[in-house]
Amino acid sequence: MVLASGSMALATRTERTPSLIGSVWRSTVGKKAVMAVTGVIMLAYLVAHMLGNLKVFFGAGEFNHYGAWIRTIGEPFLHHKWFLWIARVVLGSAVVLHGVAAFQLSRRDLAARPAKYAHARRRASYATRTMRWGGVILALFIVWHILDLTTLTVNPNAEEGRPYENLVASFDRPPVTALYIVAMLALGLHIRHGFWSAAQTLGANSPRRDRLFKVLANALALLLTCGFIAVPVGVMTGVVS
């Protein structure tokens, strides 16, 4: 009795035994980590996607062959197109998780700062301030992009199995090219802040490595934006036709 009372006074909070997924998803830090991980997955995909796109400069044969090959990855272990679908599921989940987490965190963030300052002042960099709207633009673009070049729904001149020709047909429409270029600029800005931010969120950053991550983020943003924009520019200038 005496002992119990004495130790009670010393005891403070009891250890939590949370489920890993639940506790990570519930906390702002954990949810942000989900965004970072999904962001990095999408980024890795984009690097591969961009490199694949550049094959367009080596002619229809090579590009279309590449398109067909993607469907055969993993064979004979995997059935035809299985890899493609696995990748689509992973990427789709990443997009959804990234978006849902962003949405929930944004709502929380806006609620945490209900009153604005009367003396408004420009804060943070452009890339940082445009993450939310940039993200929405990119999400809408992804939908358009899939309808345009994967399902071919909005590409009236397209034919299944001829990606090179479909691509040229799509970019022959100046408004589409303009939309694409704007989206890629938004992507660049998103990556510029997002990559460094992911390093910070996942705890990879430190005062020593901060510069390195910022340089890497800028390099990645520049590389991907230029790499993606090169294709419509190629179509516009007639290098690709």
Partner 1 sequence: MNLTLRIWRQRTADAAGAMTSYEVSGISEDMSFLEMLDHLNEELILAGDEPVAFDHDCREGICGACGMVINGQAHGPERTTTCQLHMRHFADGDTVDVEPWRAAAFPVVKDLVVDRSAFDRVIGSGGYVSVPTGSAPEAHATPVPKPVADLAFEHAECIGCGACVAACPNGSAMLFTSAKVVHLNALPQGAPERESRVLGMVGAMDAEGFGGCTNTGECATACPKGIPLQSIATMNREFLRASLRGGRGA
Partner 2 sequence: MDTTLNDTLDNSPDGTGEYHRYRVGAPVADTKAPDGPIAERWDRRRFEAKLVNPANRRKQTVIVVGTGLAGGAAGATLAEQGYRVVQFCYQDSPRRAHSIAAQGGINAAKNYRNDGDSVHRLFYDTVKGGDFRARESNVHRLAQVSVEIIDQCVAQGVPFAREYGGLLDTRSFGGVQVSRTFYARGQTGQQLLLGAYQALSRQIDAGNVEMHARTEMLDLIVVDGRARGIVARDLITGAVGTYLADAVVLASGGYGNVFYLSTNAKNSNATAAWRAHRRGAYFANPCFTQIHPTCIPRSGDHQSKLTLMSESLRNDGRIWVPKAKGDTRPPASIPEDERDYYLERIYPSFGNLVPRDIASRAAKNVCDEGRGVGPGGQGVYLDFADAITRLGREAVEAKYGNLFEMYERITAEDPYRVPMRIYPAIHYTMGGLWVDYDLQTTLPGLFAIGEANFSDHGANRLGASALMQGLADGYFVLPSTINDFLARHPHDAVPGDHPAVAEAVAEVTDRLRRLLAVDGDRTPDSFHRELGELLWDECGMARTDAGLRKALDRIPALREEFWRRVKVPGTGAELNQSLEKANRIVDYLELAELMCLDALHRTESCGGHFREESRTPEGEAARKDDEFSYAAAWEFTGTGSAPVLHKEDLRFAYVHPTQRSYA
Q: What is the DSSP letter of 142?
A: H
State the nearest-atom distance from the C-beta of 167 to partner 1, in Å: 35
Q: Which is nearer to partner 1, 174 or 203 (CB)?
A: 203
CB 194 within 8 A of CB 220: no
* Residues numbered 5-64 forming contacts with partner 2, rule: CB under 8 A: 5-6, 8-13
Residues 134-173 that bind partner 1 (CB under 8 A): none
* Stretch of 3-11, 28-36, 83-91, 118-126 lying at the interface with partner 2 (CB under 8 A): 3-11
Q: Which is nearer to partner 2, 5 or 19 (CB)?
A: 5
Kindly indicate which of the ranges 1-9, 119-127, 139-147, 156-164 contains the residues binding partner 2, using the contact rule CB under 8 A.
1-9
Q: How far is the CB of 142 from partner 1 (least distance, A)?
A: 21
Q: Which residues contact 205 (CB under 8 A, 6 or more apart)?
A: 196, 199, 213
3-state secondary structure string across 147-174: HHHCCCCCCCCCCCCCHHHHHHHHHCCH
Helix axes 210-237, 163-171, angle to 10 degrees: 90
Using CA atoms, how far apart are residues 72 and 15, in angstroms rounded to an integer? 51
Nearer to partner 1, 169 or 189 (CB): 189
The least distance separating partner 2 from the CB of residue 27, rounded to whole angstroms, comes to: 19
Q: How far lies 88's CA from each of 10, 64, 68, in Å?
A: 54, 19, 16
Nearest approach in angstroms of CB 9 to partner 2 is 4
Residues 155, 159, 164, 169, CA torsion sign: negative
211 near partner 1 (CB under 8 A): no
What's the angle, vertex CA 131, arms to CA 214 and CA 96, rounded to 5?
Answer: 110
Minimum CB distance to partner 1, residue 230 (Å): 30
- Identify what 238 binds: partner 1, partner 2, none; CB under 5 to 8 Å per kind: none
By the 8 A CB rule, do 43 and 197 touch? no
- Binding residues for partner 2, per CB under 8 A? 1-2, 5-6, 8-13
- Binding residues for partner 1, per CB under 8 A? 10, 12-13, 15-18, 20, 23-24, 26-33, 105, 108-121, 123-124, 128-129, 131, 193, 196-197, 199-207, 210
